[in-house]
Structures are given as structure tokens and as C-alpha cells.
Structure 1
Amino acid sequence: MKTRSLKVTAVLLAATMAAGSGIAALADTPTAGVTSYTASVLSTASLPTAGFASTVMQVAIDTEEEVQVASKANVSENKKEAVTTAQSEFANIAVSNVEDYVNIRSKADTDSEVVGKLYANSAATLVEEVAGGWYHITSGRCEGYIKSEYLIVGDEEAAKKISKRIAKVGVDSLRVRKKPSTDAKIVEYVDAEEELTVLDESKDGWVKVKVGEEKGYVSAEFVELHTYFKVAESKEEEKARLKKEAEAKKKAEEEARARRNSSSSNSSSSSSSSRSERSYDAPDGSDGSAVARYALQFVGNPYVYGGSSLTNGTDCSGFVMSVYAQFGVGLPHSSYSLRSCGYSVGSDLSDAKPGDILCFSGHVGIYIGGGDMVHASTSRTGIIVSSVNEGSLITIRRIF
């Protein structure tokens, strides 16, 4: 409809220019609608005819071409804008430029109230730059101001470096396959709510992920993808976390003390595996090192998805759960839920101690020191000792 209206207008203008005084005679023509008036102009005998038809047609054609060119230009601009938007996913991400943390303040003033902390390798969303060398940011549940010297802004590579692409599982027992095909071998099963590290998204309908020591493909239909950044911690969140950690530590110490003082010696000094003549010692202490020593006895035993038997077969979270059960500590049979147990000591392996629970993307293990961990790895390897891949480490949880 727009093109037709422009054509009519062009015809009127061309007629006016070509007809001169001939059109002037039509000045009193009734204006009952553009259509009827245009029809009158084109049918009047007083208009000069020599070359007029071709002039009108050329104007109409030129006008249509201009409309098409303008339309193509708009489409092109829209495409450019869409591409720019797609390429700017990290454009407003500000990366912390600190070794430990920087305070987030309520105002752009070092004397204003501290509302939270942005830790190393964490990110914030930039709201605006403020006079005096400050940035207005939001991060997690915090909104406030940080001195510009403590943030890296406009560096997409720096933002990508601290980000993690995560696939959150939406169904129970999601199959992880060797190749992106429903006919491919199943290498692992993953529970609902587990968050897996994404390695590749180039295969249509499939996502390549890492699950413990395994790499494989899951159907994109059953996972939710998102980019993850570590964010700031508000004052209220920090207070609640420290309280929870203190309570968890106290409870763990009390449980260990009760076990140590217990006169019951029923907890078998040794147990026999139904699959072999191996014997196992009972825990010989109540600290993290004792947990690590106890767990190491089961190296070589099988991995069984959904299992929790240290001798006949267990999966990664069942292994951690069953080891700690021998120390009087009840833990969930879920690698995702284990991320909330005990108290956090960060994600730097240099802060880990023997007995700590190491949490990865869809996997957990027990730290034994020296950069190694013991864990129920895969159905192919069973319970093994291997070096810790720090790049995949999400958090370290301490029970004792």
C-alpha cells in the first residue's frame, strides 16, 4: 500500500510539472478522495499528451525503485544491528581487576557505605561511567559503585576468560553419548539439575559436555544453556554464609567427637567385599586426612551409576556419601547438592586440604593432597586416583 501511495503522489507531481496551466484549470475539481481526484487529472483532455505518459511511467518506476532500494537499505541496517547485538554479549561486562576482592559502595565515594564485595575472577554489569573515576555497576544482588582502577571494562576476551558456558540438565538420567547421535554408545548418565561444562555447540541439536573424566554429547532438547559468571556477594549474603559455615563446622566437629567417644565397636574393623577377598580397615581418625586414607582403600573397585556401595559399585556422589557416612556424617547422593554441604574454602586448589570435597561439572571427588583426588570416575576406570583439573573445579567444600 505504501508503494501505491508514493506512485500516486509521484504521478500528481509529474502531472503538475508537465501540465502547467492545464492543471490550473482543474483547481476547482471536487476533492472527494485522492483516488477520484487522480482519476480526474489523468482523464482530462486539457492535459498535454506528448511524452506525458512516458514521463509519468518513468517517475512511477523511479519511485518504486527508490522504495525498493530504501527497503533493502533498511533490511541491511537491521541485519547489521542484529549482528552487532549478537557480537556484544560481553560488551557491558566489567571484570574484577583484584587479587582478593574490591568493595562495592552505595555511592561514588570511598566514605560511603560498603554494600558488598566483588571477588577476583568475578564479573559485574556496567550501568554507566561516573565522574571522578567510578563505575556504576550491578552484580548478583548488589548495585553500587566501584573505582574504575579495579575493573577491566570493554575487554571481551577478559570477560570470556572468566565465564563458563553451562548446560543445566532438565531430565532424570540424561544419556551422555560418545558421538552426536542417538545410535552412539552411552558413556555416562547424568541426574536432573546437574550443571555440565559446555565444550562445543556446533553440532545441530547436540551439545558437547564434560562429565567428570568423560567427554560426550547430550541432546540440546534436554538441557538449558547459559553463560555463568561469578558475581558479587552482598553484605547480607556474606553474613549468612559465614554463619552457615560456622554452624556446619561446629556440627561436623561434634559428630566426629561423638563418634570418637563412642564405645561401640560394631563398626566393623574390617569388611569383606563380595567380589573379592579384600579387607578394609575402619576409619583411624576423625579429621580430613583420616577421610582421605579411608577412601583410598577402595581404589580399583567398580563404578556403577546410581550405586553407593564402596565395594560392589558406586557413582561419584555415592562414593563421597558412603565414605563420609563411616565418619558419622550424612551427605546427599547428588554431586549438585554436595556443592552446598559443609563450608566453602573457595575454588583455589592451594587452599584445599585432604578430605575436602572437590566439586566439578557433574562430578565430585575427595582431595588426598599433592594435587590429587580419589573418586569414582567412570564405568571403564572405576574408583581411581588422578590429578585435579583445576580449570574445571567449581568449588571446594570442607566438612572437618
Structure 2
Amino acid sequence: MRRIGKIATCCLIGTVAFAGRTIVTQAAEIPIAGMDVILDEFYQSDSDLTYIKEYLTSAAEFENIGIANVTNYVNIRRKPNEESKILGKLYSDSAATILAEKDGWYKVESGSVTGYIKAEFLTTGDEVKELAKKVGKRIATVNTTTLKVRENPDLESIVLTLVPIEEELSVRKELDGWVKVTIDADVIGYVSAEYVDLRTEFKEAESIEEEKARLEREEAERRAQEEANNRATYSNSSVSNSSSSNSSGYSNASSGNSSSSSSSSNYSGNSSLRSNIVNYATRFLGNPYVWGGTSLTNGADCSGFTQSVFRDNGVSIPRDSRSQAAGGSTISINNIQAGDLIFYSRNGVINHVAIYMGNGKVIHASSPETGIRITNYNYRQPVKAVRYIN
């Protein structure tokens, strides 16, 4: 139905907050002087009103955001000239909040760095909206006590899992009244848009000090991985030699359960091992998820991550999540401790595993969108807990 209306408009302005290593943009509705425009005798439908509101929101969300338009990185300097000291780097497709403009330079803030970037190296204005869809990460934060994730965008569709309040979900697509989200690599579903708050996150700048620390950390991780690989090679060689010299013909190719029980008994009561496993796992936070992978630096899937973390700490567990769930000792989720494994299922079949950290948190290789991350242990419904360290 078409109607005549008087529309008072307001400007929807994007506010920017800093969380971790990302720029976060959200839309806020704030009246602005000079924007109180009255459109008399303006014909429009209800859908037109929705479109106008959505357009203003999405456009204003990125109003003060600039995205690095470079092949590698652009320097952030203390003053607006090319001879000034370099404070940090804004890498390709990373974003900064624009604070001011002066003589062909933007004063920006990104991460822990505030300084100047030549204007020619930043994409701004209307172009940012489309670019943000490619380089930004859309996040949905649950704003209700327990949110149902459905197989299809329909209230009659089956529920795949339940997600607790404040859990952050990776957005794949936004529909009318629904948001398609990734829970894990093998659980993708739909949630009601009414019960999530949406925002866009971007990669941020890195200070010179942060870059140095990162490079040192990466080198330490590379050395640790190399040492772990050498230990594994030596261990496999020893087992092979022992097996070939065994006159009884005994084979070491035992089941996952037997191997796990042996490992558990070797580390009985070792609380420091639990701490070592959790601390070691967090060193790879943010690294990529790769299906079938076992590399903690270049990419692992959920069970490849847990297996590699345990292996590098001297504990042998099976390769896939179902075998890991079948091994070790089953424990009550209420009695879980740091270093235990917690499992999740779909349609009654185990399909995901995480390392329990303590205080209700788990670390796991979640999905290609999120990589290795930390979440609440009940970010989806856990179905089993297993202990490999008694």
C-alpha cells in the first residue's frame, strides 16, 4: 500500500571500538544538526522506509574507515611527511579509523598505532562499503540466553545446536530476518537476526615493536615445531627397530585405546603437563584451519590440532575426533579439567573436538573463517569428555 508521509531523517553514524587486533564498526542512530530534513508530500511504501534505513546504516558504518590500498603494507609515520619516524605498518586490506586530513595525509588510528598515512594509499568513502564485504569479517554476537541454530531459515526447521549468550559467530550471509552463520567447519546454520548483534571487524595496524615481537614468536614456534618433528621421527624409528627385532613377531600397531591407556599411565597425576598442553596450544591461537591438516603453524583441522598439541607434549592420541573420543577415559563434563578433551556431535555422530583450558573455555581449530580460536566450552552442546592424562 502506498501512502503520503512526512519523513524526519537522522544520520546513522558508525562508531568504532578497538578489541584485540581488530577494528570494530557498529551502527548507531544519532540525530545530527542540519540533517533534520522534512520531506513533504513524499510518496513511498513501507519497503521504501526499510530500504532507506538499511542504506543509511550500512553507508554510515564505514564513514570514517580507510582500508590500505597497497600490495604489501604502508608505513604509519609520526608526522605527515615522508622523512618522519615510522611508528608502524598497515598491511594490505587492513583498516584504520580516519581522525583528520591534512595536506594529502590522513591522521589515523589503528590498533595501538596513531599517526599519518599518505591519502593515496587508503581507500575511503563509498568504495569502502563494497571493499568491506571482501576484506572485513562480519560477526554476530548472541544477545539472548540460548539461541537456536537451525538447518534452514525457517522457524519450523530442525535445530542443529544451541548457542549461549555473548557467543560470537562468523557470518556467512545476511538474509531477511535471518543470518547464516558458521559454528564449526561442519556445522553451518541459520539464526534469527533479532537475537544477534552484527558488526564488522578488520585487521589492524602493527606497531614496530609488535612486529618485532611477532617475528620472534614465529621463529620460536618454527623451532619448537622442528624439534617436535625430530622427536617424532626418532620415536618412530625406535619403535620400528624394536618391532623388527622382536622375535615373537609382536606388532606395535595397537588400537587407539591401547596406545592412549599407555600414554595416560605414563603421565598419571602430572598437573604440570596439563598446564603445558594448554599453554602450548595457545601459542598457535589465530593460526589457520585446514581440513586434513596437522601443522600447528600452516594449518590443522580440529583433531589434527589436538593430536599435534598432545604429541609435542609427549602424549600419543589417535588422529580423528571419533577415535579420540573412543580412547582415553570417559569422564563427566562436570569433572573436566584443563588438558582434557571435549567433544561435539551432529546427528549423533562425533564430528568436533576441543582442548579444555579451564574456567569454562576451550581452544580448538574451529573453521576456515575463524582458524584456531578460544570459545566457551558450551558454544555448542558438548556430548562427551575424555581424559588422556590421569
TM-score (norm 1): 0.48
Larger proportion of strand:
2
TM-score (norm 2): 0.49
Larger proportion of helix:
1
Higher-Rg structure is 1
